[in-house]
Amino acid sequence: MAAAVMLAAATSALGEKRYGPGVTDREIKVGQTMPYSGPLSAYGAIGRAQLAYFAKVNAEGGINGRKVTLISLDDGYNYARTIEQVRRLVEQDQVLLLFSLIGKSPNLAIRNYANAHRVPHLFVASGDGAWADYAHFPWTMGWLPPGRLKARIYAQHILSSRPNARIGLLYGNDDYAHEDVEGFKEGLGTRAASMIVSEQTVEQTDAALDPQIYALRASGADTVFSDMQGKRTSQALHKMAEIGWRPLHYVAVPNTVTKAILERAGAVNAVGLMSAHYAKDIDLTKYREDPDVKAYTAWAQVYYSGDAHDGMASYGYQTARALEYVLRRCADDLTRENVMRVATSMKDVELPLMLPGVRVSTGSTDYHPIKQLQMLRFDGKNWETIGGLLAF
């Protein structure tokens, strides 16, 4: 009889629902801030796509029967407003977690708060290594491969394909670009000093890049690694073409904005441009019949009112799918602690729109979800894949 009682109790415990803030039998509240206004308002497309994706999820019955309520507030890319809005989300709206906040400054501004309150701060939309500091900030996790590690991959590709390259560096004089350049030099290792023949920095106040481009050409550089804002990259491509200088050019900018860069520079001026990414470009002809791309297009036609060809929209769609994966795996244990357990135990997860072979994996001491990249070369119309996957 005692054994029967113990078995019944154990069975009950196994089936018990465990909820954190913002969760009921019918709802899961998730919070975020987005720059729907201000200087980076174009990035608001990420939040709009995520809202539209969860509208689809809810229309199809939600996650394990629960509707996902994504509360998406405008912070204007002003970190003071980010702090204010995040406090509201956590203390008033009682969200279960924070999701996909954009940019380095806003996320740094609320990282201490989120960790002190033990609120999952998931899939930060910024390519910075700060979001993988599991020892000091175990509740914060990024999504994008950090720029420093991505830059190492560019360097390693140059070492393997052009071991005698004469490299010129062209980068913004800011903390973000400096960190990426350090990663690039780390990738070259002991050969950095001999292979890098010129370093040129770009100031915010520079009207044009003519002095930097001429200096790079005069150095004899035949390979360029550039790390600047999209507009600056367009200027560089245009000027190089104008003076008839065609080095092999590796560009470290988010692939979500390369379309705009090419449009400003002129596609013909970007032929041969090298980049790297982990996701499919929905505009490429070769992916037109791809099941992931067709599913994305079908979703956009019904749920998304913006430009579905904007890379930020496809990024928002994919990261929303990642959060859906985590929440579904949590089942009826929707506590903040279990959200982090699931988010830090993903193993070779295949998500829609990933390039073939790219998988998401995390661990308790591994907060880099994406560790594989595919080298790409622009042929004037499309990005063609070069070689196999590279990992860091």
> Domain check: are 130 and 168 in the same one?
no
Asked whether residue 21 falls in the same domain as residue 138, the answer is: yes
Mean pLDDT over each residue of the chain, to the nearest integer: 92
Q: Please give the pLDDT value at position 373.
A: 93
**pLDDT(6) > 50:** no
Same-domain check for residues 256 and 270: yes
CA atoms lying within 13 Å on the CB side of residue 173: 9
| Domain end call among 242, 277, 312 | 277
Least confident of 218-222, 245-249, 255-259, 306-310: 255-259
Last residue of a domain, one of 277, 297, 332: 277
In a domain, 282, yes or no: no
What global pTM score does this model have? 0.88
Domain of 103? 15-145+289-371
381 belongs to a structural domain: no
- Highest-confidence range of 179-193, 250-264, 284-298, by mean pLDDT? 179-193
Task: State mean pLDDT over 260-269.
Answer: 85
Q: Give the chain's domain count.
A: 2
pLDDT value, residue 229? 79
**Percentage, residues of the chain above pLDDT 90:** 79
Tell me: pLDDT of 1 over 50. Answer: no
Report the CATH number at residue 184. Answer: 3.40.50.2300
Q: Which of 232, 257, 277 is the last residue of a domain?
A: 277
**Do residues 99 and 216 share a domain?**
no
31 and 137 together in one domain: yes
Is residue 9, in this structure, part of any structural domain at all?
Answer: no
Confidence of residue 11 (pLDDT cuts 50, 70, 90): very low
Position 7 in a domain: no
Indicate whether 92 belongs to any domain: yes
